[in-house]
Structure 1
Amino acid sequence: MSRSPRRIRAVIDADHVGRLESLADAADAGLPEVAEPLLAKLAAAKVVPARQMPAEVVTIGTALTYRNDVTGREQDVTLAWPEDADISQGAISVLTPIGVALLGLPVGTSVGWTTRTGQKGALTVLRLGLPLAAA
């Protein structure tokens, strides 16, 4: 890893904010390691109307490739709502540590994240594909 990940201001679709807050609030008792970072991300995010979402930013339904900056492994995934998540199909829930880390990131951004077991990691968004709705 050539540079350390930094905190960046996520860009979030205004149409998703209410549902994301509700999911985080509901998960707070059982999954505080996910709920707290999601709520913190939402509180610090730049919220924009759907029509103004930058095309290069990860949002719900976005297919993307990211690199695990610790292992160097690249992975193709789609960020999904919890009920649409299916890891065998590469659809990861926004209510997972990696889903929270990816949400709102632009292509080329590196960010640190923490697993449910407390391990520190870092990832870089390499490229985006078509959103699920457009695929």
Structure 2
Amino acid sequence: MKTTSAARRPSIHLIDSEADSLTNLADSVEERLPQVSELLIGEIARATIHTADRLPRDVVAMLSTVEFSDAASGTTRIVQLVYPREADISAGRISILTPIGAGLIGLREGQSIVWPDREGNERKLTIVKVTQNGLSPAPTT
């Protein structure tokens, strides 16, 4: 798998309670989804952690609706970032346990990240707009 150096990745921000929930989630799928687990743990480790009331409004958090562009495909998509049980790609809800979901979390409007897809190919994702939809509940497992 080709990966980009974390040193070249943009700064990211997470809510403290979401960082804890996402760490537990990533740990729980380490054997089944090793790539996503590793990527998500790495992102959590380098994030600036905030309380929910201090997270900037333009940051992708759980349950946020995100408009992003994918330079590889030339498309712009609007999705909601959700926990696995709420995922439904046909309804525009993508799981945090997908490579794209793990890449979007914590980014701010205007930021770009070069991020691996399921096949290990790097894609440049750019956040166009973030809409907060309320704080996310902890996932049910």
Q: Is the contact between residue 109 and residue 128 of structure 2 (CA under 8 Å) also seen in structure 1?
A: yes
Aligned-residue Cα RMSD (Å) equals 1.2
Aligned equivalent of 1:118: 120
User: Partner letter of residue 17 of structure 1?
Assistant: A
Identity value in percent: 34
Q: Which gives a bigger RCO, structure 1 or 2 (Cα 8 Å, sep 6+)?
A: 2
Query: Are 1:76 and 2:78 matched, yes or no?
Result: yes
Return the TM-score normalized by structure 1. 0.90
Q: Which runs of 4+ in 1 moved over 4 A?
A: none
Unaligned runs of 5+ in 1: 1-5
SS at 2:43 equivalent: helix
1:46, CA displacement in angstroms? 0.3
Q: Deviations over 1:52-93 (max 9, x none)?
A: 010000000100110001222000100101111110100000
Of 17, 20, 29, which aligns to 1:18? 20
User: Partner letter of residue 84 of structure 2?
Assistant: P
Aligned equivalent of 1:9: 11
Say how many residue pairs are matched: 128
1:129, CA displacement in angstroms? 2.6
Return the TM-score normalized by structure 2. 0.86
Cα distance between partner residues in 2 of 1:110 and 1:23: 25
Q: Is the contact between residue 57 and residue 132 of structure 2 (CA under 8 Å) also seen in structure 1?
A: no
